[in-house]
Amino acid sequence: MLIGFDLLDRQIVDRDGEPVGKVDDVELTYDEQGVPRITGLLLGQQALGERIGGGLGRWIAAVARRMSEPPGRPPLRIAFDLVASVDSAVHLAVARELLPDPPLELWLRDHLIGRIPGARHE
């Protein structure tokens, strides 16, 4: 598997075909023999900014860290063992409801969208 070609920027869908997000970065760990293994998929603007690097990437990651609840929360991580298959998208073996919400989406919902009259459907 070529990480940059087969995983990065691919759409992630849950077992029901509902979109979850895009793969912004991957988490690698090394086994006892020094062989790298993919252990997680990272989602969100913080992971994307850290992957981009440079001034723009640092700015994107800093804004995402500041807007997350609580501030400084790490990017959303999906364990790689939850991946069922990879083709034009990354298909998960679990439903979207079992995954945590991305930090920036929570902040936007609570501080922006939720303040729009009628947004809470009360």
Residue-wise pLDDT for 59-113, tens only, equals 988 888 887 767 767 888 999 999 999 999 999 999 988 887 776 676 777 777 7
User: Residue 120: inside a domain, yes or no?
Assistant: no
Q: Look up the domain containing 45 and give its range.
A: 3-115
What is the residue-wise DSSP string for the chain? --IIIIITT-EEE-TTS-EEEE--EEEEEE-TTS-EEEEEEEESHHHHHHHH-HHHHHHHHHHHHHHSSSTTPPPEEEEGGGEEEESSEEEESS-GGGSPPPHHHHHHHHHTGGGSTTTT--
User: Residue 22: inside a domain, yes or no?
Assistant: yes
pLDDT reading at 122 higher than 60: no
User: Residue 93: inside a domain, yes or no?
Assistant: yes
pLDDT reading at 29 higher than 90: yes
* Whole-number average pLDDT of the chain: 85
User: Residue 122: inside a domain, yes or no?
Assistant: no
Q: Check which CATH number belongs to the domain holding 108 and give it.
A: 2.30.30.240
Structural domain total, the chain: 1
User: Residue 43: inside a domain, yes or no?
Assistant: yes
Which pTM value belongs to this model? 0.75
